[in-house]
Structure formats: structure tokens, C-alpha cells
Amino acid sequence: MVWSHPHSTLFFILLALGLLGLLILAFRLAGAPNARSKALVALRAVALGTLVLILLNPTRVQETRQTGPQPGAVFLLDRSRSMSLEAPRTRAKAAEDLIERALMQMPRDRRPPIRRFGFGREIKALSESERYVAPYDDQTRLNAALEQLAGRFGESLPFGVFVFSDGRTTDAVPEPLDATAAAYRKLGVPVHVVALGDERVSGDVAISDIDAPRDARPGTRVPVKVTLRSRGFAGQRAELKVRLSSDPRGAPIAALPLTLADGEQSPELVIETDRATGLLTAEITSFPQEAVASNNAVSFQIVPRDSKIRVIYMEGTGALEYRFLQDALQEDPSIKCTSMLVGNQYDARPRLYRIGAPTLGFPTTREELFGYDVVICSDIARAAFTQEQLDWTVELVGKRGGGFAMIGGNTSFGSGGWDQTVWDGLIPVDMSGRGHDRSENFWGNLRVVVPPKAIDHPIWKIVDDPERNRRVLASIPTLYGSNLTDRLKPAAIALGLSQGPAAGNKPLTVFSCQTFGSGRTFAMSSDTTVDWGRDFENRWGEGDNRYFRKFWRNVVRWLAENSESGQNRLRVETDKLIYRPGQDIQITARAYDEKLKETENYRLAARLRRVDEPDSRAFDAAALSLTPQPSNLSYRGNLPAPQPDLENPGSTLHKFILDVAASDGDRVVATSSVDLQTIDDPAEFRDPRPDHATLRKLAAATGGRAIQSDADLALLLGRHPDASVRLSINRWPLWDNPLLWLVFLGTLAAEWILRRLKGLA
């Protein structure tokens, strides 16, 4: 007990004597004898003493000692994507293992409370269920994370902040940590660092893009452009290869040696589609101490088109001459040739009939013609066709990617009056003529020379060996005549010229080709049969006509490369095969009605789905409606490429499917699906080297330590300060007691009653 206003002992003695003197004085001076009652004086003394005690305010004091909260630690875990680097044990997994091993070394009663935060682009508190989150953030901002963390300490400061990171930042100009470190030192909170990642990592080489055709005809050669991203290996020799994914140890189907340079490179390889069966893998040499090995190889596929190239071959030369070209084509099981002859090509209305089906001739409907890929017209009079058939042929080539070839003869080119028809645009050379005029033809020997620029054209690849192939081309047999032409068209390629002047003072273009709309066309101004081509069809070979046969198969395959005869109702194209996340996928679609005529009357919708999602589900409201383009009867729209799968942050290649549906009212009339991929090349991977120096500097500036092992971490965690002891003091007045007040009131009442009994006022 203490007094609220403490006084000396002398004060209390004097106070007691003064009160006693007052009572004695009151007793002696009382006028009535009854007033001098000792009982009455005693009651007054008790009441007065109680009142004095209350006024002196004695206070009871109770002291309690309480243990305060145990000081805790804060773990700041880097969850940026650079922490997914290095295999088979990633930097993030190394941090997780180190923490687990350190905690296992500590007795449970010595483990401090630990609060966990993840940081990347921003800081995030981690719950117990997500103690170790996947490193999927696309940025590292350590300085901002430390600044934000200080505001989350609460009432008590941690005894230390532990940073688990590789130290790499994605900022072009890293934000200095000096000011933040000084603030932590002033708070008395050291920052300890666990520097993760192998410092021997010197850089990374990655395939960041592939530009390849989605599909191609068998037997063709297609270019594949691969974009490489390299850092830290400038000047090193490497090899870019494309191989079959099913045969990782087999010989590559294409290879290209190159010298690496920091930044991007885009070398191009040429692939033979006959060898590119199934899934393909493009891969670049892996180097020791490279951060990411998985991005050195990327899978892709060039899907073979319809295995059968359907060809219409029309021959005006009689007898069995059609067999030479027909047999050459059908020697390839992937080519189906429908041969036709003409009854009398000089009649007013010549009639074409099919070999083996004489009642049938050239297709009489658009749908039937669009089922073919290539049309070859060899010395056929224009009167054998209706205007619709001519128009359909132009549409087959220009809009559906088909092929067309014209071969010389008395009714071909200018001498056949073809310069006056819509087929004039298909033919790679300008021509003039007066119709069936033999003066429009050249009669004489023609030696053909292949121009140097055309040597590597796919049509001229007769044998595989380049040197031997040059000798084969130099041995093209003499031709004995040709149609005359004026000049090569601007966009055309001269594949073969006469050796020396053949018409006037200039060489004659004998073989030529060009692109036309979506398709391709070819012209041979001489004949492939007797009379002009009798040696060409019989003697170009090695005692046979094998080179003749290979030549015509090359022509047909090249012409059919872009044909879409197998996609009759809905054709879907995208601008690329592989995209970056978020990049626009530019979709172009063409729809065809029941008669295979282009239409804009359908409603087209597009959507993206993962490869594991079924394609049977209906298109929902989120599907993109493609916009009709009346100018060219197409539909267009853009969809952003999907973001990467966060469940696997170390993967850079992701596959998905683009579905397009054409609807007529509520009825779906056609669907088409396209396989696509994204290559995710985040900034976090572009400089994968860890930055341990920055982390060590941070620790030194805050009074922290650079932790080298799980033992170091366990030791620091075990040295946490003991819980603080707090003294709690409670005070309350002793007069605040019901019994005391009962005594006081009781004595006052007893004194009053006693006075009344004695007759006192």
C-alpha cells in the first residue's frame, strides 16, 4: 500500500494528536451531561478517523511481470522468372531446400516466428499454404520490395530480414539500394542475403522465334527461318539443326553452321518435306555454363497436305503421246493424274475426253474443278472451253492457290489466240498472235541454257548432288521448235533460255514461271512431245528418260505447293505459326457456299483453346466475331496470343489451337482448326547471370551477413533475441471498498441513534 500523497510519519502523528485533542476538547466542553458519553465520543472518533483515512487516499499497488512477443524474422523470397533458371535444381528450388534444411537443424522451441513475403513486380504476403510460390513474375524489383516491406513490420520490428534472390534486376537502369539500406540500418534491422544462382553462368542462347509454313506438299522444299537470341557467347561457333523429334540421335534433315553474336540473328534453312515427317525440332548448340538449356530446342511441325496432288493434264498431240507425261507423274504415288485428249483440235468446237472415261471431259462445275490442284494445257485450242471454265481456272489459281501450266504447240500461246483470253494473265510471258498462224512459231534447233540465277530453283533439282545436277541441266536435249513470245513478264522468272538468238536478235524464253494471286503458273514454249520435244521426252536421262520424268514431277509439286483443294468450305490462315504472348494473331478466313463459291453471307467466329480442351464445346459469347471484308470476300480479325502457363514458369514453348466456325443462322456449316504456338522469351531470361555483388553490398550496408549455407542460416535464426519482459503496475484506492463505507455509514447511524436516545439534538 502507498499513499497517493505521501507524508512523513511526524505528519501522521501530529494529525492523530490534533484529532484526539479535538475530541477531548469537545468532550469537556459539552453542555449536557449526556453529551459526555464515552460511547458517543468513540462513535464520533471512528467516523472521523474513517473520513480522514478516505481523504488521505491510501492506494494499493500490484506489480505484474509479463513476457512480450518473441522477435521474428522476415523472409523475402524472389519469385521472378529468373529464379526458375538452372536445371535440374532451379534457383527457387535451391532456396526452398536451404530453408528446409536450416529449420530442420534447429530445435522447435528455438525457431523464431517467420513471416514470408514474395517479390517480383510487387511484394505479396505469403500464407502458410503458399510458402514457396512458383517463380512466374516477369520483373524483379528488390529496392521497391524493401521499401514496401518496411511499412508492414507492424508494432514490433523483426530482428532481421532475409532476402533469397539471384540479385538480377530487369530494370534497364537498376535503382540504387543505398538510401533503402541506410534506412534499414537506422531502424536497426539488418538485411541478410542468400545469393542464389551459379556465378559461373555466363549467358544464354535461345531460339526465340520460328517462321515456317504451316503445311506443304510432299516432295517440296520449304524455307524455315529461325530467330536466335544470344548473350555472353559472341564469337562462338554453333550449329543450327532441324531434326525429327522422334529420332533425337539421328542425322539432322537440315543443318547450318554459324557464328553467334550478342542480340538476335535470323538464319534460314531449307527443308525437304519428304524428310520432314511428323514433329520437328529446331535446336542450337548448348554451351557449358548456359543458364537455360530448355530454350535451345523448339518443336514445330510442317503438316503434309493432301497426299494426292490432283492434276488435269490435257494433251493435243494424238496417238499415245500423253503417256510420257502421265506416266512421269503417276510414278509418284502422291500424284493422281487425270489425262484428257482432244478429238480434233482444229474443229470449231473441239471436244475434250478423259482417258478411260470418254463420256467425261473438262470439269463442268466450279465444285468439280476446285477438287483439282494443277491444270496442264498442252496444245489445246481455246474453243474447247467455255468462258466459265476459263474463269474458274483463273479463280482456281488466283484465289485457291492452284497451279497452271501451258505447254507449246500449234494452238498454244499466241498462235492459239490465248492472248485474247483471261488465261493471258496466267502465262508468265507476253505473247501476240493471229490464231493458228504458223508464223508465230519458231522452227529450228534450240539448245536450252539455264540462267545462273535459276540453277537453284526447285523445278531444276533433278538429282541431289549440286555438281552432278549442273551437268544434268547442261544435258537438256535439243528442242526442235517453239512458240514465239514477246518478253518475260515483270514478276516472272526465266528458268531456261535458248542458247543464242532464236527470234530476231534475242534469246527465246523457253521455260518460265511466276506467282499469280495465291497460286503459281509455268510455261514451256516448246512441246513436251513430238515433234518439237521428241528427244526431250525420250532421251533426257541415262539411256532412258528419268530426268524428263523427274522434271515434270518437280513442276507439278512446285505448282501445287499453295493449293487448297482439300479445304472446301472454310479456309483459315494466320500471319504466323509461332507468336509471342500477347502478340496479335492476325486471322484471315474465306468461306464457301455449297457450290464452293466465295461468300460473305456466313457469320464467322474464332476462339483460342488449350490443346487439352475439347473442341466439341460450343462457341461462347467470348468468341471473336470475324469482320467481313466485302472488297475481297474474306473475313478478318485479331486475337491476342495467350499468356504463358504459370504452372511451368521455366518453359518457353506453349501450344494452343485456333478454332473458327462458319454459321448460317443457328446452323454451323463448316469448322476449321489451326495449331499455333507461343514462344515466351521474357526479359528475365535475356541476362540470366546472377548478381551476387549487389546482394552482398546490401547486406554490408545494413549490418547484415551474406549467408553461404543452411548452417549459416540456422545459426542466424537461432541467435534471435529472447522475448522482452514487460512490468505491468495496477493501482486502486483502498477506500474504494464497500466494507469501509459500510463501517463509516454504520458509525454515523449509530451515533445519530445514540444521540436521539439520550435526547440530544
Annotate 463-511 with DSSP letters as a single string.
SSSHHHHHHHHHTPPPEEEEE---EE-TT-EEEEEESS-SBTTB--EEE
CA torsion, points 628, 629, 634, 637, in degrees to nearest 10? -60
How far is 220 from 374, CA to CA, in rounded Å?
15
Q: Are strands 603-610 and 653-664 parallel, antiparallel or unpaired?
A: antiparallel
- What pLDDT sits at residue 646? 56
Q: Confidence band (pLDDT; 50, 70, 90) for 21? A: confident
User: pLDDT tens digits, residue range 260-304?
Assistant: 998 889 999 999 888 888 889 999 999 888 877 778 888 888 877
How far is 740 from 140, CA to CA, in rounded Å?
71
Which has more confidence, 730 or 495?
495
- The answer to whether the beta carbons of residues 444 and 502 sit under 8 Å apart is yes
384-393, long-range: CB within 8 Å, 24+ apart, which pairs? 384/342, 384/345, 384/349, 384/350, 384/351, 384/352, 389/362, 389/363, 389/364, 390/421, 390/422, 390/423, 391/422, 392/363, 392/366, 393/369, 393/423, 393/426
Whether residue 243 lies inside any domain: the answer is yes
Task: Give the CATH number for residue 602.
Answer: 2.60.40.1930
Whether residue 724 lies inside any domain: the answer is no
Q: Are strands 221-231 and 268-272 parallel, antiparallel or unpaired?
A: antiparallel
Which has more confidence, 234 or 432?
234
Whether residue 331 lies inside any domain: the answer is yes
Lowest model confidence (mean pLDDT) among 230-234, 359-363, 628-632, 720-724: 720-724
- The answer to whether the beta carbons of residues 559 and 611 sit under 8 Å apart is no
Please count the structural domains in the chain.
5
Whether residue 739 lies inside any domain: the answer is yes
Cβ atoms within 10 Å of 521's Cβ, excluding its own: 26
Which letter, b or e, does each residue of 396-412 get, where b requires 16 or more Cβ atoms within 10 Å of its Cβ? bbbbbbbbbbbbbbbbb
Which has more confidence, 373 or 63?
373
pLDDT of 28 strictly over 70: no
- What pLDDT sits at residue 308? 82
- What pLDDT sits at residue 594? 78
Which has more confidence, 592 or 462?
462
pLDDT of 649 strictly over 60: no
What's the whole-number average pLDDT of the chain? 86
Q: Are strands 237-244 and 279-284 parallel, antiparallel or unpaired?
A: antiparallel
Task: Indicate whether 440 and 493 sit together in one domain.
Answer: yes
Task: Indicate whether 351 and 407 sit together in one domain.
Answer: yes
Q: Give every CB contact of residue 203 below 8 A, 6+ residues apart in sequence.
A: 230, 231, 232, 233, 290, 291, 687, 688, 689
Q: Give every CB contact of residue 374 below 8 A, 6+ residues apart in sequence.
A: 309, 310, 311, 312, 402, 403, 404, 405, 556, 559, 560, 563
Task: Indicate whether 245 and 123 sit together in one domain.
Answer: no
The domain containing residue 210 runs over which residues? 204-304
Whether residue 564 lies inside any domain: the answer is no
- What pLDDT sits at residue 175? 73
Task: Give the CATH number for residue 218.
Answer: 2.60.40.150
Average pLDDT over residues 361-379: 93
- The answer to whether the beta carbons of residues 293 and 285 sit under 8 Å apart is no
- What pLDDT sits at residue 189? 93
Cα four-point dihedral sign 159, 164, 167, 170: negative
Indicate the residue type of 285: T
CA–CA distances in Å: residue 539 to residues 2, 330, 460, 465: 132, 19, 17, 21
- Residue identified by cell 512477443 is 69
What residues form DSSP beta bridges with 61? 731
Task: Indicate whether 606 and 647 sit together in one domain.
Answer: yes
- What pLDDT sits at residue 66? 67
Q: Confidence band (pLDDT; 50, 70, 90) for 612? A: confident
- What pLDDT sits at residue 110? 80
* Among candidate residues 537, 556, 626, 643, the one with its CA nearest the CA of residue 590: 626
pLDDT of 416 strictly over 80: yes
How far is 375 from 386, CA to CA, in rounded Å?
15
**Considering 559, 593, 620, which residue would you say is the last residue of a domain?**
559
User: pLDDT tens digits, residue range 377-392?
Assistant: 999 999 999 999 999 9
pLDDT of 436 strictly over 50: no
Percent above pLDDT 90 for the chain: 47
Whether residue 565 lies inside any domain: the answer is no
**Considering 245, 270, 304, which residue would you say is the last residue of a domain?**
304
Cell numbers linked to 79: 519469385
Which has more confidence, 577 or 489?
489
Q: Confidence band (pLDDT; 50, 70, 90) for 627? A: very high
